[in-house]
Structure 1
């Protein structure tokens, strides 16, 4: 067996120069491990992941279909919910098929360009989902604190502009991810200890300086999550202040119930996401298979649970779902 020595400093500079030149060098394919340490049992883990993916597909398609076909649901709350469902469909479909292929069919190899595309979709649409949750918090604030002006403030034109802003923010902030990664040189390992092409998991494989990639990734995460959580917190702080001024316990309960489903969705999205983010950078004592499993569930659990949460807690959605499936009964 012939051992290939690590490149010297001069050869590394030559490789980097070629990589950054107009000629470039062929980039390697990557190999996705799946769930490190659980290779013998990961086909069993794939079963609940498949169920989550199926629930996400059926639930979000149902939500979009119901809102699209029912004019009475063309209101801000439901239009934002349709945006959330569409984003969840893209997010899960860009992740789950390859994850399941790795776990079930041992299809570990993924092309360099395909890996970058998957990574971009995952992070861009996660950013978009966070932005839609902020928009939904704004809608709840206007509905409770300014109910008489709700339709005036959040008219269809404003909702369209919000949707475009959320889309553009995700595209503009995350487009540099694959661009910066293409400047890196992968001259050693190309095995990704993950179930999908996560940004930091790919960056760690580079043998050239990745300081800019690490710094930009951290800045985007703090900017998106930090500002969005702050905006949601301010919105619900104002909502709580307004609700506490409402006389009568029944009126307060009704006001809180209108926010219940949104609060559940916020917790399901942000809590595991923040935990995964902190574990990836600071949780060195957390077993790697635990981190990978949580990071995978983070992309599948919210899209699967969101339609169920809104279907159970939102009467209008629940009634339409029952009507679609011809189920009669008291609501």
Structure 2
């Protein structure tokens, strides 16, 4: 018997024996069963090595960035405050997904309660929304710093930073919250087996024994409202930044500015390309093998959070200097 068929048969048997019959008062399953990466069940142990490494590097990099920025008064400036918020969001985003995926790979722990599944879905999509918003806000911060340096101090105040963060959090909750309400309203589900490694919105919606057009349409609306809107403003900001950079008289100044901005562009393009692919492939990617779609969906939650501390943090001269200063002070005090 093929491993994929074995997993489905095992899931059905587990659901029947462990979970019992569905109560009449509930329209949804008590539990969902996460398959992992369908088609690559035999390789789960090997794939888990890379997932574990990515997650460890994500945690180490972002925690280090938070410690360095919080311990360095000279870094308590708007750009570095945004970096610390981004690092916090990256920790939360990857933690919403990676530990459960590793439990599936290592311990075959595939069960997740209905409410826990919706909670995971809410946090993953909310933190993804906040991530997108922070990339836009950081691009705006760089635009003001480079194109309007005389107005930077009066524009990027702590009050504005606080308001922007609140707006991003409210936007995420307001847009993602209705997805959960719409799922709760489904009268029944065809199965409780999710052919994914985490509770992704459309992966759950497709299980419903009902018309899913409203859910699918609203999911697309949310995805393009957040991702396309933020990406458009990021591209506009960086086009203005590059126009200002290429007008600089010094070739060395132009090169330094380009070397700073180019990695940022690579990072946010990686995030947006993988995110848009993940959203669209559920609806229009019937010819794409499921394991390719799911691996890339997982990577969009792991790779950008792992690379952000390096690209936005350690490539910044002030961060590097403060990192070695904090490291030397800690090392000297521990002796």
Under a length normalisation based on structure 2, what TM-score does the superposition of the two structures give? 0.87
SS in 2 for 1:43: helix
- Aligned twin of 2:35: 33
Q: Which moved more, 1:158-167 or 1:310-319?
A: 310-319
| TM-superposed deviation, 1:45 | 0.3
Cα distance in 1 for residues equivalent to 2:144 and 2:261: 12
1:267 aligns with 2:301: no
| TM-superposed deviation, 1:268 | 2.8
| TM-superposed deviation, 1:163 | 1.0
- Aligned twin of 2:20: none
Q: How many residues align?
A: 307
- Aligned twin of 2:142: 140
Deviations 1:190-245 (A, max 9, x none): 10000000000000000012221111101000111111111011111111222222
Conservation of the 8 A alpha-carbon contact between 1:261 and 1:313: no
1:300 aligns with 2:302: yes
- Aligned twin of 2:178: 176
- Aligned twin of 1:6: none
| TM-superposed deviation, 1:316 | 1.2
- Aligned twin of 2:202: 200
- Aligned twin of 1:12: none
| TM-superposed deviation, 1:27 | 3.3
- Aligned twin of 1:326: 328
SS in 2 for 1:95: helix
Conservation of the 8 A alpha-carbon contact between 2:101 and 2:197: yes
Conservation of the 8 A alpha-carbon contact between 1:261 and 1:309: yes
Conservation of the 8 A alpha-carbon contact between 1:265 and 1:302: yes
Conservation of the 8 A alpha-carbon contact between 1:272 and 1:298: yes
Deviations 1:106-133 (A, max 9, x none): 0011100000000000001100000000
Conservation of the 8 A alpha-carbon contact between 1:33 and 1:195: yes
- Aligned twin of 1:119: 121
Q: Which moved more, 1:229-238 or 1:305-314?
A: 305-314
Shift in alpha-carbon separation, 1:43–1:251, aligned structure 2, 3 A? same
Superposition RMSD in Å: 1.7
Structure 1 residue ranges (4+ consecutive) displaced by more than 4 angstroms after TM superposition: 23-26
- Aligned twin of 1:213: 215
Q: Which moved more, 1:230-239 or 1:198-207?
A: 230-239
**Larger proportion of helix:** 2
Q: Which moved more, 1:195-204 or 1:246-255?
A: 246-255
| TM-superposed deviation, 1:26 | 5.7
Cα distance in 2 for residues equivalent to 1:114 and 1:173: 19
- Aligned twin of 1:76: 78
- Structure 1 segment 1-331 matched on structure 2, within 5 A: 24-25=26-27, 27-326=29-328
- Unaligned 5+ residue runs, structure 2? 1-22, 330-335
Cα distance in 2 for residues equivalent to 1:185 and 1:65: 48
Cα distance in 2 for residues equivalent to 1:325 and 1:186: 56
Under a length normalisation based on structure 1, what TM-score does the superposition of the two structures give? 0.88
Conservation of the 8 A alpha-carbon contact between 2:190 and 2:207: yes
Conservation of the 8 A alpha-carbon contact between 2:62 and 2:90: yes
Deviations 1:228-263 (A, max 9, x none): 111011111111222222222122223323424422
Cα distance in 2 for residues equivalent to 1:325 and 1:165: 35
Cα distance in 1 for residues equivalent to 2:154 and 2:94: 35
SS in 1 for 2:33: strand
| TM-superposed deviation, 1:155 | 1.1
| TM-superposed deviation, 1:83 | 1.0
| TM-superposed deviation, 1:264 | 3.1
SS in 2 for 1:31: strand
